Amino acid sequence: MDKFSKKASRALIIRGFLYLFAGLIAFFLNLEQGGQAIPLMSILTILSGGLVLVAAFGHKKKQQVWYYTAVWGLLELALGIYLTLFEPDYEFFVNLVAILVILTALFAVVFSFNARKKQNYFYLIAIINGAWGFAMSNFSAALLPYFGVMLIGLLIVDGLLGIYGGLLYQSVQEKMHRRKSG
């Protein structure tokens, strides 16, 4: 496996652990009314956006659709910077997270069209994030206190999927490398 593929798979694995860690930290935070949810998500999306950009440029030589990954990284980075600079009210924050999650589902659908061996992985991401995003986008003011529980679940599940995706990418790249050299 070449140097760029190793960086890309490591970035995806680190991103998965980052989401998992954020989900575990969120258990101990006050997520009602945005208390500590907004700073957590701003830090998480800035770091995650950077890691996604590393993965995108790691894919540049191997995949024709690396720019979709780069756009995704820039969107996450932009959201993190926005949350850091402007700290929106809680309802608007919930809507921003819902949009991010729905966009994740849409990007997963786009990636599934271009993936040969990992289509089911992208379908799974699309279904999980689509359902979570739809549920979050339909939160009424009465349900906002439960958003923290959904956010914790989403972070943990996305973290586990990210780790799995990075390991899957690594194994596919190693198999391709063995076929070329063997």
When the pLDDT of each residue in the chain is averaged and rounded to a whole number, the result is: 82
Could you tell me if 91 and 147 are in contact, meaning their C-beta atoms sit under 8 angstroms apart? no
In this predicted structure, what is the pLDDT of residue 125?
A: 85
- DSSP 8-state symbol, 145: G
Ranked by mean pLDDT, the top range of 17-21, 60-64, 118-122, 123-127 is 17-21
Higher pLDDT, 46 or 148: 46
Structure tokens at 62: 């191997």
In this predicted structure, what is the pLDDT of residue 115?
A: 65
Confidence of residue 46 (pLDDT cuts 50, 70, 90): very high
Q: What are 111-146's pLDDT values in tens digits?
A: 777 766 667 778 888 888 888 888 888 876 667 777
Confidence of residue 55 (pLDDT cuts 50, 70, 90): confident
Distances (CA, A) of 159 to 135, 139, 163, 165, 178: 19, 23, 6, 10, 29
Q: Long-range contacts for 30-34 (Cβ within 8 Å, ≥24 apart)?
A: 31/147, 31/148, 31/151, 31/152, 32/144, 32/145, 32/148, 33/90, 33/144, 33/145, 34/89, 34/90, 34/93
Tell me the mean pLDDT in the region 9-35: 83
Tell me the mean pLDDT in the region 2-10: 69
Determine the Cα–Cα distance for residues 5 and 11; give it in Å rounded to an integer. Answer: 10
CB 142: neighbour CB atoms within 10 A?
7
Instruction: Indicate if the pLDDT at residue 175 is higher than 90.
Output: no
Please enumerate in sequence order all residues whose Cβ is within 8 A of that of 60, keeping only pairs 6 or more positions apart, or say none.
4, 66
What share of the chain has pLDDT > 70, as a percent? 85
Burial track 70-108 (b if 16+ CB lie within 10 A, e otherwise): bbbbebbbebbeebeeeeeebeebbebbbebbbbbbebb
Confidence of residue 1 (pLDDT cuts 50, 70, 90): low
pTM of structure: 0.81
In this predicted structure, what is the pLDDT of residue 82?
A: 94
In this predicted structure, what is the pLDDT of residue 133?
A: 86
In this predicted structure, what is the pLDDT of residue 20?
A: 92
Instruction: Indicate if the pLDDT at residue 88 is higher than 80.
Output: yes
